[in-house]
Structure 1
Amino acid sequence: MTSLELTLFFLLAAVLGVVIFRSFKLPPMLGYLAVGAVIGPHMLGMVQRSERIQHLAEFGVVFLMFVIGLEFSLPKLRTMKRHVFGLGLLQVLATMLLSTLIILGIRWIMPELWRLSWQGAVALSGVLAMSSTAIVVKLMAERLELDTEYGKRVMGVLLFQDLAVVPLLVLIPALAANDDDLGMELLFALLKAVALITLLLTGGQHVMKPWLFTVARRKSSELFMLNILLITL
């Protein structure tokens, strides 16, 4: 298939999947997941793994996270700081600690079957501590639960998880370093994580707002759309 044919095929499959699942009053997200599993390489094999598929999937994730990000702002984050930095921090740390202990316990009980190092256990526990913001937010929005008290708590946890992804992505490669260099690698990873989060939370606001206002003053919807696509990608 050409890139255009591949994109049209995916869109058609997604539309049909959502129509079928909505007819049974099921969330559209389940339709997307089911269709992807059916047409993927492990079932019907209508779509095989390739570099084009990988790039298309990355674009999809970028645009999906951008749309979710439009719902939040720094002022909203500050009003939810008790949920975000309290409940969210507790959930991530508790899940990572408990998962690491369980994984290391399995390795101690069955060393011949489970040989994951402590670095691998920490990396795997970081994965287990994360949830899918895209899926959960979409489901809660459809049920009009985002503004409820428990909805705010769930959103607080999800927001902290999204913030925690940045240091985790920096930390995991550092864990692969040699034992002699591990301390310096972890320190360097921590500094990079702090710099990235600072850039996202402060620098982005100060740079993006004036630029977007400048583009908006040109009163061109095409220019504004092109600018949004450029910033997002």
Structure 2
Amino acid sequence: MVAGKVAFVTGAGSGIGREVCRILAKQGAKVIAADRNLENATNTITSLNDPGHLALNVEVSNEQSIQQAFKSAINKYLTPPTIIVNSAGITRDQFILKLSNEDFAKVLDVNLKGTFYVIQTAVKEIVNANIGIGSSIVNVSSIIGKTGNMGQANYAASKAGVIALTQTASLEFGQFGIRVNAVLPGFIETPMTETVPDNVKQLFIQKIPLHRMGKPEEVAEVITFLASSKSSYINGASIEVTGGLH
């Protein structure tokens, strides 16, 4: 269960991150919605109808921004968050031969380095407060991190890195009672996929055994399970939420 716990969710302004906030709050957690767009994060918190939650402007690729966010969280709740959900992510799609160094680096900075910064900052605070037992980190990777995808070399590399980072972190932090797992969403109805042309969407859907796109809440339910005590012996796992797409 997650009742009474403090949860820190990046990418909380929309899509999967917003649904994670909604479900965690519904189950009794205090939620910190972190997003680079403060208005979107605030909208997420407003929708929860509870003044006990918190919206923060966070740029995950900036270590100082993350550290300041955790200071704000601890000031409000008098304890570090013990549920961490790394849902922030971006795409800069292009074929490898046309992909700029800037767009390659930016995607890795947000998707991979940002996840690393949040994990490192969070675990330091959790360990210093001696509250590791029962803590849970859930990283949002992607099935693309396993399969690759044309035009998404940077995204695929970043999400593959998240899987490896998750596995390594689970080995290092188990001694503190902190579990680290990943979810690998497939083709989900989010702002990130809204820009995909309909004909391309249909090609993807034809490859999915369930013949439909996933909904953000279907991923968020799995994340909430991994964040809760119901998954207390799951550690270092990467769980696919793809409708059968491989």
- The structure that has the greater radius of gyration is 1
Q: Please, what TM-score do these two structures have when normalized by structure 1?
A: 0.27
Which is richer in helix? 1
Which is richer in strand? 2
Per chain length, whose mean CA-contact separation is higher, i.e. which structure has more relative contact order (CA < 8 Å, sep 6+)?
2
